[in-house]
Amino acid sequence: MDFRMEHDTMGEIAVPADKLWGAQTQRSFENFPIGQEKMPADLIRAFAVLKEACAAANCRLGKLDDRRFALIRQACQAILAGELEGNFPLAVWQTGSGTQTNMNCNEVIAHYGNAQAGQALLHPNDHVNMSQSSNDTFPSALHIAAVTSLHQRLEPALTEMIRCLQELQEENMAVVKTGRTHLQDAVPITFGQEISGWRSMLEHNLDMIATSLEGLYELALGGTAVGTGLNAPLGFEVAAAEEVSRLTGLPFCSAPNKFHALTAKDALVFSHGALKALAANLMKIANDVRWLASGPRCGLGEISIPENEPGSSIMPGKVNPTQCEALTMVAVQVMGNDTVMGIAASQGTFELNVFMPVMALNYLQSVRLLSDAMTSFTRRCLAGLKPNKEKMAENLHRSLMTVTALTPIVGYENGAKIAKLAHKENISLKEAAVRLELFTPEAFDGAFHPETMI
């Protein structure tokens, strides 16, 4: 491998000749050989948006000349277009402020811009990082990445799942089945009503996520190192936020208190809490589906789901609810990520939180996993879900809890006697009611209609 020599304030260091990063990136790359987790690509793209926005703001305010701004913008657009992949090698497990990732972006943008210009017009710190600090750029980039990933990935996946459930609900509103509480038989419900509960859960989750966006739209830009705005020109924080909004089409704004914006990560915790709530509901829905589909002969067997692949390497013909299993594993991972988010956010010491890279990893992983898993579950499971109407009817008429329909006539205690006798003797409710001389056969038939109990 060929190398070139780069320098920073600590001296010279060899950098791979085919890479655009500089000395500070190389030092981080060598000093933190920890794990396999790299800075998320969504965060790098957010940094590209941020660096272009800051350059535009500096140009508007007379701090940066037009030519340098154009070079920075060209480099940022190349990052967003995916043309500079392979130039962002740093581990998540680095400085907790994300300084080295900020400098990685600064160095790549400067080297790319200088190559386009054919001369050294851009300095990573003096021009690309003008009016900024890692301490205000990293949390701002994290907010930009969080918001854009929610809008671009999670909301479409969640909306698609809601639409699918709405269609299933309408198709099955007249299909009556036994309800269940405590994993025990309960009074009847329609399958459409059951599905409507799933749909409503996700609609509430969508509202929760939308509510959490308010805090994420606030940007720390302009706070620089400790929140005082040192070395940033007057009006920079507002101008930079306006430029981010222009580039993204989203209502980002300048955080009203930069001291809060640098040291507190409560907006991310609040937003991830909405993701955890979504994960909890997805866990419930996936579990309901695999319980209802259990069998095919020795389980509930009230629904069928698509058979996507063989389920066993030893048992021929076995098919498993694999999409449910994948979704529930994702839910568990997101719940674990939420613990990391809460602990990391609690570690704001004095003027800065230095757990930001791990928060970026966990938040963006949760969004991506939830989005991908919901899309897969919707298309490969829910879309092909079918009720077994015969099995539902059989279970409905065998259920002892349909005796509840008789209690207005014979009372709670006599109703219990009917149910217990039917269960003990393994006979129908009708047989038990007649044997106890509480109903004649004709009176029972006139009073007992499980389908009307919904």
The rounded distance, in Å, linking the Cα atoms of 192 and 385 is 13
Q: What stretch of H or E contains 177?
A: strand 176-181
Which candidate, 47, 32, 143, places its Cα nearest to that of 103? 47
Counted residue by residue, the chain has a size of 454
Q: How far is CA 443 from the centre of its chain?
A: 55
Task: Give how far Cα 85 sits from Cα of 44, 80, 107, 108, 310, Å.
Answer: 10, 10, 14, 11, 38
Task: Give how far Cα 80 sits from Cα of 45, 83, 232, 241, 315, Å.
Answer: 6, 8, 26, 19, 49
Annotated active-site residue 212? The verdict is no
Q: Which of 312, 346, 423, 449 is catalytic?
A: 312
Burial of 133 (0-12, 13-18, 19+ CB in 10 A): buried
The rounded distance, in Å, linking the Cα atoms of 61 and 446 is 84
Annotated active-site residue 200? The verdict is no
Q: Which of 7, 127, 182, 397 is catalytic?
A: 182
CA–CA–CA angle 73, 75, 77 (5° rounding): 70
The rounded distance, in Å, linking the Cα atoms of 154 and 295 is 32
Amino acid (one-letter) located at 65: D
What are the backbone dihedrals phi and psi of residue 114, each rounded to the nearest 5 degrees, phi first? -65, -35
The rounded distance, in Å, linking the Cα atoms of 72 and 132 is 15
Q: Are the beta carbons of 407 and 187 closer than 8 angstroms?
A: no
Helical pair 356-380 and 266-292, crossing angle rounded to 10 deg: 30
Amino acid (one-letter) located at 431: E
> Is the dihedral angle over the CA atoms 53, 56, 58, 60 positive or is it negative?
negative
The rounded distance, in Å, linking the Cα atoms of 41 and 145 is 9
The rounded distance, in Å, linking the Cα atoms of 21 and 128 is 13
The rounded distance, in Å, linking the Cα atoms of 207 and 212 is 9
| Residues recognised as catalytic | 182, 312
